[in-house]
Amino acid sequence: MAFQNLLTEDRGAVRVITVNRPDKLNALNRATLTELHLAFDQAAADDAIRAVVLRGAGEKAFVAGADIAELAGLSAVQARDLSRHGQRLMSKVERLGKPVIAMIGGWALGGGLELAMCCHLRVASEKAKLGLPEITLGVLPGFGGTQRLLRLAGRGAALELTLTGAPIDAARAHALGLVTRVVAPDQLEAETMKLAEQLATLAPQAVRAILDTVLVGGESAIDVGLEFETQAFGVCFSTEDMREGTTAFLEKRKPAFSGR
Catalytic residue IDs:
114, 134
Amino acid at 36: L
- DSSP code of 27? -
Largest Cα–Cα separation, the chain? 64
Do 116 and 122 touch, CB atoms closer than 8 A?
A: yes
Rounded-to-integer distance, Cα 235 and Cα 224, Å: 17
Question: HSE (CB half, 13 Å, CA atoms) of 218?
Answer: 13
Name the 3-class secondary structure at 28.
strand
What are the DSSP calls for 98-132, one per residue?
S-EEEEE-SEEETHHHHHHHHSSEEEEETT-EEE-
What are the DSSP calls for 146-192, one per residue?
HHHHHHHH-HHHHHHHHHH---EEHHHHHHTTS-SEEE-GGGHHHHH
Q: In the chain, count H helices and then E strands.
A: 11, 10
